[in-house]
Structure 1
């Protein structure tokens, strides 16, 4: 594996600023973690303030993944307000595999922020972490999420039908992926 290089924060895009979470982000994080419509497609239910405190502690503990299994969660700011988060998981060091994800407050849906923030996470995964392959997954009925993956140049590799009981019903999952050379060619 190549050199693993922690990026300089904050990371600026055209409209956003990405940075590690701090304890001061509790209210913003809780503003979406507490909403049933946000967790509809996620494991778990809407969080209590205490559960958000636990979630925030995990997010602030990792400012860059140092080993396989660690997750980097970055706060996404727009005009000085935290509006969501984006995630890079280091799944497997030997095989250079990672995963990205994103969660935003519903007030900010439909504006391309998830795509813009996720482009940064792909770059960090490939350039800074030295990954070869990055995946993302979502509930098959979450069209907004899989359209983000497609805008990122990821391809649908799997459609798991009735793979598990999810929130009381058989769930379906789409898995998308992009390889490092595909990502470089698309830039």
Structure 2
């Protein structure tokens, strides 16, 4: 059964083979891959990724990740994708990430998608805590995470060798009780 979760002007849904061309196109852009854990995608790599992802459950098994499509609600066009991970040691805790194609950035769509993903995690799945990590130089991501009410919990200095350089990361989190208090 395909996953389908409305979130304002966007919906979170399963990635499908029809998404592969758009998925490969935005993930191939250097400005999209810059702060991500992936390098530029080829069409073949995108097709293999989407096929592998289709074998995963939503929500994912504890300890694994799943990618969800971010689609425009009006016509189902792929705008980006988001990631969901459940902690393998404590599946009441999750981690999220988000990628949006450049032409859809700056319109509040990422915010709607992330709020939808948090609602799914904290209301539907009833997770206790959700976290997100971002490179400290990714100012758009920092603004996005703060705009949905996530708290900056930590600044990890040069904690990882990433794409040829040491990088700093911020860790953001949101507790279920914090989410519910704001709704």
Q: Same fold (TM over 0.5)?
A: yes
Aligned pair count?
A: 181
Query: CA 1:34 to 1:66, structure 2 compared with 1: closer, same or farther past 3 Å?
Result: closer
In the TM superposition, residue 95 of structure 1 has moved relative to its aligned partner by 5.8
C-alpha RMSD of the superposition: 1.8
In the TM superposition, residue 77 of structure 1 has moved relative to its aligned partner by 1.4
- Is the 8 Å Cα contact of residues 81 and 100 (structure 2) preserved in structure 1? yes
Q: Which residue number in structure 2 is paired with residue 75 of structure 1? A: 69
Q: Which residue number in structure 2 is paired with residue 58 of structure 1? A: 52
1:96 to 74, 92, 110: 92
Q: Which residue number in structure 2 is paired with residue 111 of structure 1? A: 107
TM-score under structure 2 length normalisation = 0.91
Tell whether 2:13 aligns with 1:16: no
Tell whether 2:143 aligns with 1:147: yes
Partner secondary structure for residue 36 of structure 2: coil
Distance across 1 between alignment mates of 2:6 and 2:91: 30
Q: Which residue number in structure 2 is paired with residue 127 of structure 1? A: 123
Deviations 1:120-153 (A, max 9, x none): 1111112222210100011000010011110111
Partner secondary structure for residue 165 of structure 1: strand
In the TM superposition, residue 70 of structure 1 has moved relative to its aligned partner by 2.8
Query: CA 1:24 to 1:96, structure 2 compared with 1: closer, same or farther past 3 Å?
Result: same
- Is the 8 Å Cα contact of residues 99 and 136 (structure 1) preserved in structure 2? yes
Alignment gaps of 5+ in structure 1 = 1-5
Partner secondary structure for residue 88 of structure 1: strand
Alignment gaps of 5+ in structure 2 = none
In the TM superposition, residue 108 of structure 1 has moved relative to its aligned partner by 0.8
TM-score under structure 1 length normalisation = 0.89
Query: CA 1:83 to 1:66, structure 2 compared with 1: closer, same or farther past 3 Å?
Result: closer
2:132 to 129, 136, 141: 136
12-21 vs 27-36, greater mean Cα deviation: 12-21
Distance across 2 between alignment mates of 1:92 and 1:177: 17
Deviations 1:2-48 (A, max 9, x none): xxxx9x84322321122111111111111111111100001231011
